[in-house]
A = this chain, B = another copy of it.
């Protein structure tokens, strides 16, 4: 009956086919057990068209690790690989390779070091490094990209929306427009990045957050269709949820029907000793309607109830709404700051799909292979300098200036410790003529960003809670200069190479270029 087996659909075969063809090649040529290093990084912050992000919030790592540690080929998976044939009808995968895939607890040979979820991150910085046998590390590339690219994208959008909302509660409402089952990862990333709650019941259950939501237009429509009215629907709702009563007021006419009816029902609730929670506006000029609704609510003695806004909100729309309220509310005798302070934001489509830029351009690249004695750097040239890989075994450091603010991320070779340098040279990653020099006294601290997450198949420590991940995000955002956090045209945060990595990379590029000319 099920058109796709749910377990198989997200199991070992949830990968790009070429990972399997390459793995067999490594196996056949005896390269499969060479240790390899793969770096995951993204190349540019999301650009939403009229506006762009100045940083990202990384997310998705724990779900990737969970996939990696919990997945191995099933008998059904290996039977499928046995069945595949090439152009001439011959089998594509040989039995010895399939046995090798199936006999091992495959991913237990891998180690992962990474920048933890919730941290603020920047382009070209390796966020995750996979270390392990070449063929096995290769196999996790697609699941790694699939988990990290999407969750980082959405956590970033959520962080921007949180900044725009100035502390107002944010509800993630996007399930209906999400990319199918990606809704769960998207809701989780929203919670990491800045949303307070989600309407997605399944993910709320999984993560221990109370799910949020009250009613839709259909409830009011149903009462009217059966001969009743909007207020009958509101009363019915208030009767069952007297202490959790948020009423959607725009099914008929917001200011002439919805809000007055809500106030009547709130009065009835109050007389019975309950505290009405709020109203929701889901269409029209939300700022104008919020002001007018607040005026009516205030006059009736409901200065505190929430005004929930929804309908295609994102960071710029919220910014526009708050600006409009600040300009127009005084004209109607409504205190703008108090009104903004009672707004709640229901964010659907534009958060969960990261509307405007619906994909993070993260990649996972081979940067070194061991020849059994030492790491041999792997590089890839490109038509554009910016796409030439940073090769080798590397570490990432965050440099904080004398104000304690993050001033640059430094990518260095693994055997360097920039904390020991008296003078730090920060090379622009591609432009030979550009570099910064920092003296010790200009630096308050230098922090290593990579943490060991998995060591040869074993998790290092317990997975962090969402709350702990959110706390990392908050403290990292505190350390960013406001210009980098700006919603439009943010300052460019410096991501630099150490002098040693710069020299190492240039040497490799030159020798590869000269090998072409030979």
Give chain A's interface residues, CB within 8 Å of chain B.
1-11, 13-22, 24-26, 28-29, 31, 34, 36, 38, 49, 60, 62-63, 66, 69-70, 80, 84-88, 90, 92, 134, 138, 141-142, 145-147, 149-151, 173, 175-186, 188, 199-207, 210-222, 224-227, 229, 236-237, 239-241, 243-244, 250-253, 256-257, 275, 277, 283-285, 349, 353-355, 358-362, 365-366, 368-369, 371, 376-384, 387, 463, 512, 515-516
Contact = CB atoms under 8 A, between A and B. Distances in A.
Contact of A9 (B2, B85, B203, B217): B203
A201 B146 contact: no
A17 B211 contact: yes
Contacts of A21: 213-215, 241
B366 A202 contact: no
Given A14-B202, A86-B243, A179-B182, 9 more contacts: A3-B66, A4-B206, A13-B201, A15-B201, A17-B213, A22-B215, A134-B222, A221-B365, A354-B358
Contact of A252 (B359, B377, B516): B516
Contacts of A145: 175-177
A225 B377 contact: yes
A206 B9 contact: yes
Q: Report which residue of A349, A359, A377, A381 has the largest number of chain B beta carbons within 10 angstroms of its beta carbon.
A: A359
A361 to B, nearest CB: 8
Nearest to A11: B202
A381 B244 contact: no
Contacts of A149: 176-177
Given A184-B4, A205-B8, A173 B16 contact: yes
Given A2-B70, A14-B202, A216 B184 contact: no
Most buried by B among A4, A26, A218, A512: A218
A142 B176 contact: yes
Nearest to A135: B222
Contacts of A463: 3
A430 to B, nearest CB: 16
Nearest to A25: B240
A7 B6 contact: yes
Contacts of A9: 181, 184, 202-203, 206
A200 to B, nearest CB: 7
A97 B13 CA distance: 40
A135 B243 CA distance: 22
Contacts of A512: 224, 252
A201 B204 CA distance: 30
A441 to B, nearest CB: 40
9 contacts: A6-B6, A49-B49, A86-B243, A87-B243, A149-B176, A150-B178, A226-B369, A253-B381, A283-B387
A240 B28 contact: yes
A284 to B, nearest CB: 4
A354 B353 CA distance: 10
Contact of A225 (B18, B212, B222, B369): B369
